[in-house]
A = this chain, B = another copy of it.
Amino acid sequence: MIREESAYEVIGDKSNFPEWYDQVLSAAGIIDMRYDMKGMVVWLPYGLSIMKFLIKRWDELFQKNGIEETYFPLFVPIKYCEKNESWWNGFKDEGYKVIAGEGNEIQGAIRPTGEPAMYPMFSMWTRSRNDLPIRIYETVSSYRYETKQTKPLIRAREITHWFEIHTAHATKEEAANELELHVKFYDEIYEKMLALPAFRVNKPIWECFPGAVGAYEYYSYMPDGRVMENGSANNLGQAYAKKFDVKYADENGKEQYCWMICTGNGARFIAAAFSEHGDKKGLILPPYIAPIQVVIVPIIFKGNEAEVYKYAEKVKTKLESQGIRVHLDTRSNMTPGKKYFFWEVKGVPVRLEIGPKDVEKDQVVVSTRFDAKKEFVKLDKLDITGTLSNIHNAMYAKSKKRLEEGIIFANTNKEVVKLLDEKKIAKVYWCGNRDCYDKISKIGEGFEAFGTSVEKKGSGKCLSCNKEAHETLYIAKSY
């Protein structure tokens, strides 16, 4: 195991979030930030195994729903990029290019996003209606020459473990249904895996790709009160099909452009979970993405090692037979107290302590990381599956409550300013007019109107123009 150098340092309070975040990610063995390339980090075994649990989960989810995994090359021919000229002109400066050979000739762009590599192939794959729908995804790294300050897993130059679903359909209706399916994927990942609320907004049409029908964006409400984009689902309409020539011959032999959907997100999922659930002792992992759900720490005194280990092994076997991921910490050069600390930093949901007295009484001490509770439980009454489920539910309820209490209705600009000063998200009525949207975005320095509620429409007066308004718009500082 790679030693995490800083595992024994004291972690600061979450009130200084940026510092806390970096400390926890290092101390828990998630990443090593010392790799000497801006915006790129080494994923350590523990961090990668958490990420991989989540990936396994989305693989199952997508594939169960008939979306198939593919892999497209890292290098994208420049001529593929140029098919979407407006995007490429805007993106060029943020993009990496690759050179090789004696003359250092440009070979292509480094994958900036999936579209320019994928859609030229879609164009080859779709001929008739029988070729549709195409429903594929890939999980890859994308690259962006980020000039702003980078932050591991949140704003990186190497955007690792990023999934992109891309689909092409014969009809607008089918595409719309596909989009709603992707919403279910996000909701399941947020609520069932990350124990986070699925906070989704409608993006105004002018923030979507030109020609698109619309888009959803998910946000995470971070501990510093800012919101972070955390997953988009885009109804591209026929806009990209027209750029990349993705079309099919209909029943009458007439060529039609396909309707396309693209949806993607990545490591920000776990960045949000770490940030939301963690505390001054370190991470608190949601049980369903924890690589180790239960750690057993034997309390050894000289002379009783054998019986305690034997009992601990028995408990481990019992739990594993129930499908629980268990680790028995047998390190002999570490006190139980240090082991507690070690696994607390890593956020293992449940710790079982077993000493000679417990063996005698056929019991274990169950200690839960989330609420720091401890209780003695007889082995035949031990229900870790239930405990993990309770922890998950409590973590979800807590984070949902924080979001719900964090979104507050504002009737005036002054109220908006006050709310954002208090690290809240403001919610206001808005008439639907772009000018008003832009004005509302400029109420304060660094403020951003970031989309409208997906819930049922109310009725009120637009914050900006005071006209009749049916949309509710969110405002916050953003990442």
Contacts and interface: CB of A to CB of B under 8 A. Distances in A.
Nearest to A127: B3
Interface string A12-46: 00000000000000000000101111001111110
Contacts of A49: 69
Contacts of A120: 36
Interface stretch (A92-100, A239-247, A419-427): A92-100
A69 B48 contact: yes
A378 B77 CA distance: 55
A72 interface: yes
A55 to B, nearest CB: 11
B73 A40 contact: yes
Given A36-B80, A37-B75, A121-B34, A70 B42 contact: yes
Q: A72, A80, A107 — which one has the most chain B CB atoms within 10 A of its CB?
A: A107
A79 interface: yes
A136 interface: yes
A158 interface: yes
Q: A76, A79, A100 — which one has the most chain B CB atoms within 10 A of its CB?
A: A100
Given A98-B98, A131-B3, A41 B73 contact: yes
Nearest to A124: B34
Contacts of A455: none
Contacts of A42: 70-73, 121
B97 A143 contact: no
A100 to B, nearest CB: 4
A152 to B, nearest CB: 12
Interface in A263-284: none
A40 B1 contact: no
A220 interface: no
Given A45-B69, A80-B36, A98 B97 contact: yes
A160 B32 CA distance: 24
A383 interface: no
Contacts of A72: 35, 42-43
A299 interface: no
A127 B80 CA distance: 48
Contacts of A108: 37
A368 B145 CA distance: 52
Contact of A96 (B2, B36, B99, B134): B99
A42 B119 CA distance: 12
Nearest to A1: B68
Contacts of A397: none
Nearest to A144: B100
A322 interface: no
Contacts of A158: 73-75
A79 B35 CA distance: 12
A236 B337 CA distance: 39
Contacts of A69: 45, 48-49, 52
A240 to B, nearest CB: 18
Q: A48, A70, A117 — which one has the most chain B CB atoms within 10 A of its CB?
A: A70
Contacts of A74: 40, 74, 141, 143, 158
Contacts of A436: none
B121 A75 contact: no
B97 A136 contact: no
Contacts of A1: 68
A102 interface: yes
A121 B36 CA distance: 10
A34 B79 CA distance: 14
Nearest to A106: B99
A68 B43 CA distance: 11
A332 interface: no
A145 B110 CA distance: 15
A385 interface: no
6 contacts: A37-B75, A42-B121, A43-B70, A45-B68, A74-B158, A93-B101
Which 6 A/B pairs are nearest by Cβ-Cβ distance? Answer: A45-B68, A40-B73, A43-B71, A100-B145, A96-B100, A36-B77
Given A48-B70, A75-B157, 19 more contacts: A2-B125, A2-B134, A2-B136, A3-B130, A36-B79, A36-B80, A37-B107, A42-B72, A42-B121, A44-B70, A45-B68, A48-B69, A74-B74, A75-B158, A93-B101, A96-B98, A97-B104, A98-B110, A110-B110
